Amino acid sequence: MKGVIVMSAGNHAKAVACHAERLRIPATIVMSKNTRNVKVKDTKNFGARVVLSGDNLDETAAHAQQIAESEHLTFVHPYNAVDIIAGQETVALEILQAQPDLDSIVVPVGEDAYQESRPVPDSRDKRRRTESGNPHTPQGTEIQRRVVGRVAFLIDRIENLRSDWFLKIVKLSRGYQ
Domain residue ranges in the chain: 4-75, 88-174
Would the pTM count as exceeding 0.85? no
Which residues sit opposite 132 in a β-bridge?
Answer: 146
pLDDT band at residue 176, thresholds of 50, 70 and 90?
Answer: very low
Which fold does the domain 4-75 belong to in CATH? Rossmann fold (3.40.50)
Q: What is the pLDDT of residues 11-52, one digit of tens each?
A: 889 989 999 999 999 999 999 999 989 899 999 999 999 999
More confident residue, 130 or 73: 73
C-alpha closest to that of 13 among 1, 116, 38: 38
Rounded to the nearest integer, the mean pLDDT of the chain is 69
The Cα–Cα gap between 119 and 15 comes to 17
The Cα–Cα gap between 104 and 155 comes to 9
Contact 96, 153 (CB under 8 A): no
Assess whether pLDDT exceeds 70 at residue 60. Answer: yes
Chain centre to alpha carbon of residue 97: 21
